[in-house]
Each structure stands twice: as C-alpha cells, then as structure tokens.
Structure 1
C-alpha cells in the first residue's frame, strides 16, 4: 500500500472527494458554514488529547484538524478566492513579520517585550486590513471565542496600553469585591438581570486573576471539569459497591467519599 504522507496527497484526496462528477455526494454538498462545527470540534479534541497526554490520539486529532484547514482551502479555491498555498504563504509571512528578533535585526530582551511587540504587530495588521487608522485596541477579538478565552484576550489587549492592575493583591481584592457584590444581590433579592451582571463581573475578575498568575483560565476550567468527572465517577463506583445509588438521601456518604478520594489524589 502506498504511503500518503505529504500535504499534496491530502490536498489531492480532498479535491477528489469534492469532485462534482466522481466525488462523494456528502462532500460535494459541504460549505464553509456546514463544516464549521466540525472544525471547532476537532480543535477541542486536539486540546483534550494534549490534556490527556495521549500522543497517539494527538497524532490522529492533529490530522483531523489539518483536514479541516485543507477542506476550507479547497472550497475557497473552487470559488476562486484562494488556495492552500496562499494559506501557507500568509501564515509564513505573518510569523516572520511578528518575530523580527528572530528573522530580523530587532532586539527584544525578554518574553514581555516579545508579547508587547506581537500585539503591536497585530494592531498594525488590523489597521492595514481596514485601510484606516487604528481604532479601539479591542477590535478584532472574535465574538465566537469561548467566553473565558475572549475575556483573557480583551484583558491582554487593554494591558498592552497600560490598563491593568499593578499589584497582584489588587487583583485578589477585586475578586473579593465582586464576590461580595454577588452576595448582596442575593440578599437584596435583586432582579435576575442584575444577578447575571454580577456573576459575569465575578467571572471576568477570576479570569484576570488567572492571567496575572500565569494560568490559562479556559484550560484551568477544563482541567477542573475533568477532575470533577473523575472524582464523582469514583464516588458512584464506591456507592454502588456498597449497594447504594447517588441521591440526596446519601449525601453525607457522597461527601465523605469525595473528601477521601480528593485526599488520595493529592
């Protein structure tokens, strides 16, 4: 069996699948919008493979994600917009442009300077695309991003122009302030909309805290979800081994098992 291990092989495979006469009926019908959910799903499956440190699965998921890129590029080529080589050229030029300290003569002394330069380059690129002066520093942060990711990106943009906390303690204080405001809305029987606003402010401040601690908030929450699933799954197993089912009636036992399992993991 011949090896199909070059990008040109994958491009040819997708082109054959999309062929109007001899292709696959399902593939022939797909559009940018119809395959978008698959693109997002594959990106998250890559993240899960990384979190699980499963290299075999990561290899497979990266292939699935690459297929999505080739697929979008093929649809664009059929429409006469651009082709896969244009995608490669675009990202290659962008990476060289955004790393003048590697591919040019610029001197950026530390990681913070590199990040600041990266944001300046991105801002200039956004302005160039619009052919007008740079507007808000927050322009271009995609609305479709997960909320935690978007919050962090907005905060980083603002931080580049100096709108940020100076001390870590100020960030902790802000989280506590927002938490207290959530308590007050509950005690005051505030309208649901106000509760939503206060919870949003609390979450936003928690993302800010994560950012200042050097933690990716989205990844931290994903990891917390995994821990909860794993621990609660063990609680269920232990309960059923003793002839019980999870329910409010056995809550004390569930809490005892939870504490035990948590301490064992630590």
Structure 2
C-alpha cells in the first residue's frame, strides 16, 4: 500500500502542524520559554541526527528526523511572527521567489544544459543577490573545516577558478604530500616546526578534498563512513577480548591485532 498522499492531504497535515505549534506555544511551559537562541543548538543537533540516519540508510529514522527539523522550522516561524519580523507565509513566499529567481533556465530564458551550468548560474545569481564583495563571502564562518573547504572550492569553481583536469589536481596532492614529508620526516628524529608542519598538513588535506570533489566523492561522507567502520571494528575487538576474559589495557598490540583482523572479516 502506497504511503504517498494527495496535495490536499499534504496541506491538511501542514495545517494540523501549524495548529499544534500554536497550541504548544500558548500552553506548554517549555515551548513558551523557547527563543531562536535557545533553539539554535537543538536544531544543529537535529541536523546531525538526520545526517546519521541518512548514512545508516534508515528510511524510518530519516522520516522521523526530518519531522523534527520541520518542527524547528515551524517553531522559528512562530517566534518570528510573535516578534513581528516574519511568519510562515512570508518565509515560504520568500523561498519560492528565491527558487524561481535562481532557476532562470526553468522560469526564464537562460540556458543550462547540464548540472555544472546550473551550479555556475546559481553562484553568480547568489553573489549578485547578496552583494558580497567576495565570491567566498557566503561561506558560513561556523562550518566545520572539512565542509568549509568543500564549499570554498565549489564557490571558486562557480566563477571558473578551478583545475581543468583531475590529473592536475592529483599532481597538486603529490606536491603537497612531498612538502609535508619534507617538513615532517617520520624517519628522522630531529625536532620539527609544528607550526609549519601544521600549515603543510592543512595544505595536503585541502588538496585531497579538492581531488575528492573532482572524482565526485564527498570527503565528509567518506570520512564519516570510515569513522563508523572503525567504531564497529573496535567494538568487535572490545567484545571479543571481553569474551576471552581479557582487558584491552592488559593486551599487547600483537594480541589486539588478532581480534582486529577478525573484525575486518565481519
């Protein structure tokens, strides 16, 4: 049986949510106290929970977490209306106008034959709208560094500042790797300049993120999948050691490697 609803059912569900939000804001002691500032960290947490659900490929959890984020959006709109700044109508109207404005290949005469052309048009229109002095002015300062690097590179590409061929990007990776190796030679015992080595390591990461973008790998997703894989294998190691009556703290690395190799087969 299909879970898809009609437009009338969708509108009715959204109307019900708005009614519940009105009631909670008027009657619930916790909801009455909330502000945009108090909700901010909760919204960030909900976004990461959605990210977890997506990486796990769990449709039920994705639906649940999207619902939580939708609640936050409606909550912000309710507070905005109370303060006389905006309401859910003006917020949605503004979004619709922006979508139409930023898709001139759909709602205007602009041509965009592929995804790359759409992205370039989007960035150019966005830059004009915001009046940013810099193309990179729209990158949020509080973004995690890895994601920020991705957005910086994407925005630079949007105005044509990018490598032409992926082999050029890989050559840059190798160049940065060599510079880092020269700054931090693992085979040598002498003291290193940590400040300079940190800079070279940052350059190396930036170039790797750039290459990942060129071959259409999301480096944030790739790293998180590796994190999850490591957690799964390490917890297998912990459980296997415990089942054998051993403690990791008392085991040698060679002993732990036996269980680790078993974990890699799971």
Q: Same fold (TM over 0.5)?
A: yes
Residues 240 and 166 of structure 1: is their aligned pair in 2 closer, same or farther, counting only changes over 3 Å? Answer: same
- 1:177 is matched with 175
- 1:226 is matched with 228
What is the rounded CA distance, in whole Å, between the counterparts of 1:246 and 1:217 in structure 2?
Answer: 31
- 1:204 is matched with 206
What is the rounded CA distance, in whole Å, between the counterparts of 1:123 and 1:135 in structure 2?
Answer: 8
What is the rounded CA distance, in whole Å, between the counterparts of 1:202 and 1:92 in structure 2?
Answer: 40
- Partner SS state of residue 235, structure 2: helix
What is the rounded CA distance, in whole Å, between the counterparts of 2:86 and 2:47 in structure 1?
Answer: 23
Q: How does 1:62-141 map to 2 (within 5 A)?
A: 62-127=66-131, 134-141=132-139
What is the rounded CA distance, in whole Å, between the counterparts of 1:248 and 1:114 in structure 2?
Answer: 58
- 2:24 is matched with 17
Aligned-pair CA distance for 1:208: 0.8
Aligned-pair CA distance for 1:243: 2.4
Q: Deviations over 1:115-134 (max 9, x none)?
A: 1111112112212xxxxxx5
Aligned-pair CA distance for 1:153: 0.8
Deviates more, 1:146-155 or 1:93-102: 93-102
Aligned-pair CA distance for 1:109: 1.1
What is the rounded CA distance, in whole Å, between the counterparts of 1:177 and 1:233 in structure 2?
Answer: 37
Q: Deviations over 1:175-195 (max 9, x none)?
A: 233233333333463343323
Structure 2 gaps, min length 5: 1-10
Contact kept in structure 1, 2:124 and 2:159, CA below 8 Å? no
- Partner SS state of residue 135, structure 2: coil
Aligned-pair CA distance for 1:248: 6.8
What is the rounded CA distance, in whole Å, between the counterparts of 1:209 and 1:65 in structure 2?
Answer: 32
- Partner SS state of residue 138, structure 1: helix
What is the rounded CA distance, in whole Å, between the counterparts of 1:14 and 1:126 in structure 2?
Answer: 32
What is the rounded CA distance, in whole Å, between the counterparts of 2:246 and 2:142 in structure 1?
Answer: 43
Aligned-pair CA distance for 1:151: 0.7
Contact kept in structure 1, 2:120 and 2:159, CA below 8 Å? no
What is the rounded CA distance, in whole Å, between the counterparts of 2:82 and 2:35 in structure 1?
Answer: 11
Q: Deviations over 1:67-104 (max 9, x none)?
A: 11111111111110000111111111212222222333
Aligned-pair CA distance for 1:5: 6.0
Aligned-pair CA distance for 1:249: 3.3
Q: How does 1:49-64 map to 2 (within 5 A)?
A: 49-64=53-68
What is the rounded CA distance, in whole Å, between the counterparts of 1:102 and 1:253 in structure 2?
Answer: 62
Instruction: Give the alignment's Cα RMSD to 1 decimal.
Output: 2.1
What is the rounded CA distance, in whole Å, between the counterparts of 2:158 and 2:228 in structure 1?
Answer: 33
Deviates more, 1:57-66 or 1:84-93: 84-93
Structure 1 gaps, min length 5: 128-133
Question: Are 1:163 and 2:161 matched, yes or no?
Answer: yes
Contact kept in structure 1, 2:147 and 2:220, CA below 8 Å? yes
Residues 248 and 157 of structure 1: is their aligned pair in 2 closer, same or farther, counting only changes over 3 Å? Answer: farther
Residues 31 and 192 of structure 1: is their aligned pair in 2 closer, same or farther, counting only changes over 3 Å? Answer: farther
Q: Deviations over 1:24-52 (max 9, x none)?
A: 22222221111101111111111111111
